Amino acid sequence: MKVQSPLEVYNYLPGTNCKECGEETCMAFASKLIDRSKSLDLCKEILDDSYKEEYEKLKEMLSPEIKEIIIGIGDKAVHVGGEDVLYRHQLTFYNQPPFAYDVTDVMDEKEITERVNFVSNYKKFYVGSFLRLDMIAIRSVSDDPKKFAECVKKVKDLTELPLILMSFNPDVLEAGLEVVKDKRPLVYAANEDNWQKVAELIDKYKVPVVLFSPDLDKLASLAKTFVEMGMNELILDPGTYPSGKQLMSTFERFIKLRRSAIKDGNKDVAFPIIGIPAIASLVSKGKDELEQAISESILTILETIKYGDLLVFHNIAPYVILPAIHLRFNIYTDPRSPVRVEPGLFEMGTPDENSPLFLTTNFALTYFTVKSDLESNNINSYLLVVDSDGICVEASVAGGQLNPGKIKEAIEATKAKEKIKHNTLVLPGLAARLSGSTEDETGMKVLVGPTDSGRIAKWMEDHWQTKA
């Protein structure tokens, strides 16, 4: 995106403050366009012919440096690429790389069904949300169009996840495309040998395509050719190689491509990059299982950090998946907005009117730590979670996001006082300095709890029997 300030965007908006976009003013809408929480088409006025020039200019200004490609349809569709920066601390990364897992057209029906169901149903709870897997990559091993089409049909009947059709044989690709042409699959791949035939398919089926070449000049030239032919939904594969010097050169090519697109403004390569960590397991068949897993994991780490926008895996062992999805989550969390949970009053265990009422903030890590400490110690209690803009206790006390006024509001909104008869609120130890002013503001007796919720059981022994 070529703009940083809302004013630059505002200058091209109609400026009537008509509110139809859902914002009070055009300037507020401009801010939402920059952080991508709203899209330009929500301003109906700018769609009018009289604003054609401004509309085109804004579209160009607001488009990300790396093109965003959508694969699949409906709720499960994935957004690939669309990034603006090389380093997350410069802004944020917007679209976490979808993780695809392979099946092949030589697997038997049982294995295909098990793998597809495993990937489709996988979920892991982590700081307030579920981490999931995103796509199925169908590889042609038989090189037989009929076999491939049958496999694609099986997978299509099993899942709504977006698909990648993988073969360098255009006849095989076409057989698969015929089966899922209404599902917007990704085609993998065109290379320097087959590109003309694959281009014909892409033109016919209007789907995104991967271009493959480990030679970056050839890759750029392929991309330029496709764009000149009117096809710009491209993803680039500079080649993934699992070991030795080739592993190092894999890493270098990913970095060179992204730097060239963002730092040097090279439009020919300003497309998402696909990485194939699955290669590690596929080329080392027969090797020790753990060795394969380690090799696939190393590629996953490298390509998640720099700069894979879509990754294809083979290994579905938990010790390969778990680190990968956690790494992705942490890299693609917006550093400008803390991970938060909904504020409110929550029951821990089976509390009654004599149970303690604890308070914490809605920073997700704090909330889940306190919740876990209360539950694992079987402390039946109420937990009042105050909206601190997702900031932890100590920082929100210092910054004023947690204050007696907010605490009073939260008590009233949740009717917390009506749940207990002792009229006592337990503040976290790190909010001790709010205790006096909170008593004044809320009319409740305030106790100061431990600074670490891990010591809450001991604190209960020392301070709470008297309340029951």
Site residues (vs ligand SF4, CB under 6 A) = 13-14, 16-21, 23, 26, 29, 43, 45-46
Closer residue to ligand SF4 (CB): 18 or 73: 18
Closer residue to ligand SF4 (CB): 54 or 84: 54
**Contact 276/314 with Cβ under 8 angstroms?**
no
Q: How far apart are CA 377 and CA 162, in angstroms?
A: 43
Q: Could you tell me the smallest distance in angstroms from the CB atom of residue 43 to ligand SF4?
A: 3
Nearest to 211 by CA among 224, 203, 200: 224
Q: How far apart are CA 425 and CA 363, in angstroms?
A: 19
Beta-carbon count within 10 A of 23 CB: 19
Closer residue to ligand SF4 (CB): 32 or 197: 32
Closer residue to ligand SF4 (CB): 16 or 117: 16
Q: Could you tell me the smallest distance in angstroms from the CB atom of residue 50 to ligand SF4?
A: 12
Q: Could you tell me the smallest distance in angstroms from the CB atom of residue 25 to ligand SF4?
A: 6
Q: Could you tell me the smallest distance in angstroms from the CB atom of residue 41 to ligand SF4?
A: 10
Closer residue to ligand SF4 (CB): 15 or 349: 15
Q: Could you tell me the smallest distance in angstroms from the CB atom of residue 28 to ligand SF4?
A: 8
Residue 267's Cβ-side half-sphere holds a number of Cα atoms within 13 Å equal to 7
Closer residue to ligand SF4 (CB): 9 or 427: 9
Q: Could you tell me the smallest distance in angstroms from the CB atom of residue 46 to ligand SF4?
A: 6
Strand 234-237 to 209-212 pairing: parallel
* Helical ranges in 78-144 per DSSP H: 109-121
Beta-carbon count within 10 A of 384 CB: 21
Q: How far apart are CA 458 and CA 468, in angstroms?
A: 16
Q: How far apart are CA 93 and CA 334, in angstroms?
A: 7
Element housing 16 (H / E): none
